[in-house]
């Protein structure tokens, strides 16, 4: 039954895959045009710059990429949210992690802290960046109640790092609600999700109501309600079953 559901989800998400590949082709073509000089003597490549030498041959000269930066904000673009948080099984083109967070610091007058982080999996991941950017002034005397709504569950490295933070900072109570499970078939990922759960983190897959709440709280929705996509509830049940099997 699970295999049948797996194949159904792959088939239903084929249009997402094709759309993502088309968008990628457009961006690559745009990038190529923007980085090619009119005279044709210098053009961008994936790994550097093609420069014409004195004898007329082209050689690749390596270029240094700018440092990666985590993007932070208050509200997410609605189209980006609908694409990145869609709880499909085949997640082609969804190469970012969006982390929406709520932080309540006990016994303080600062109120509820809210916002989001996003990454591209090319540098520091959003999960690691959260503790550095959103809790830079950690106070061991306070109790922190932290809730994340993430586009996908943590990778094995992030899960390991989060588990270590929770072990060292017993006063942080973390709940993670994930739209999708990231590479849940991998044994290493399963091992560290269990370790994260053992460290006291509450792990759950996002329900349809969670998507609606995240839309209302973290998205520039212009007061428009979220129209959930087809099979949202079915896909939630599929992922929740997989997570329950991992954590049991």
Q: Which of 11, 34, 35, 15 is nearest to 23 (CA)?
A: 15
Evaluate if residue 65 carries a pLDDT over 70.
Answer: no
Q: In 3-state terms, what secondary structure has residue 158?
A: helix
- For 220-241, write each residue's pLDDT tens digit: 999 899 999 989 999 999 999 9
Pairing assessment for the beta strands 112-119 and 97-105 based on DSSP bridges: antiparallel
Pairing assessment for the beta strands 42-44 and 48-52 based on DSSP bridges: antiparallel
The least confident of 116-130, 177-191, 201-215 is 116-130
- For 18-40, write each residue's pLDDT tens digit: 445 544 543 444 344 344 333 43
Evaluate if residue 116 carries a pLDDT over 90.
Answer: yes
| pLDDT value of residue 192 | 94
Token pair of 6 as six digits: 């797996």
Q: Which of 129, 110, 131 is nearest to 119 (CA)?
A: 129
Q: Which of 104, 200, 114, 99 is nearest to 153 (CA)?
A: 99
Kindly calculate the radius of gyration of the chain based on its CA atoms and give it in whole angstroms: 21
Q: In 3-state terms, what secondary structure has residue 71?
A: strand
| pLDDT value of residue 191 | 95
CB 100 within 8 A of CB 213: no
| Percentage, residues of the chain above pLDDT 90 | 50
Point out the residues that are catalytic: 127
Q: Residue 74: how many CB atoms within 10 A of its CB?
A: 9
Distances, alpha carbon 97 to alpha carbons 21, 70, 194, in Å = 18, 10, 20
Show Cβ contacts of residue 242 under 8 Å, excluding neighbours closer than 6 positions: 181, 184
| Percentage, residues of the chain above pLDDT 70 | 67
For the segment 111-116, the average pLDDT, to the nearest whole number, is 87
């Amino acid at each position: 039954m699970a295999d049948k559901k797996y194949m159904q989800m792959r088939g239903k998400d084929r249009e997402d895959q094709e759309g993502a590949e088309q968008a990628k082709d457009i961006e690559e073509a745009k990038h190529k045009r923007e980085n090619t000089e009119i005279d044709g003597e210098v053009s961008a490549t994936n790994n550097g710059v093609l420069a014409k030498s004195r004898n007329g041959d082209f050689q690749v000269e390596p270029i240094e990429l700018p440092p990666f930066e985590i993007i932070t904000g208050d509200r997410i673009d609605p189209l980006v949210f609908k694409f990145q948080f869609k709880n499909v099984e085949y997640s082609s083109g969804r190469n970012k992690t969006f982390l929406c967070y709520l932080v309540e610091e006990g016994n303080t007058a600062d109120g509820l802290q809210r916002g989001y982080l996003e990454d591209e999996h090319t540098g520091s991941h959003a999960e690691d960046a959260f503790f550095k950017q959103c809790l830079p002034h950690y106070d061991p005397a306070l109790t922190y109640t932290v809730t994340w709504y993430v586009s996908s569950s943590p990778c094995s490295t992030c899960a390991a790092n989060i588990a270590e933070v929770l072990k060292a900072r017993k006063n942080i109570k973390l709940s993670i609600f994930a739209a999708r499970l990231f590479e849940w078939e991998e044994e290493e990922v399963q091992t560290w999700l269990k370790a994260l759960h053992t460290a006291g983190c509450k792990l759950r897959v996002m329900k349809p109501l969670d998507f609606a709440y995240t839309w209302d709280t973290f998205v520039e929705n212009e007061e428009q309600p979220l129209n959930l996509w087809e099979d949202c509830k079915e896909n939630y049940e599929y992922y929740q079953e997989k997570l329950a099997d991992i954590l049991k």
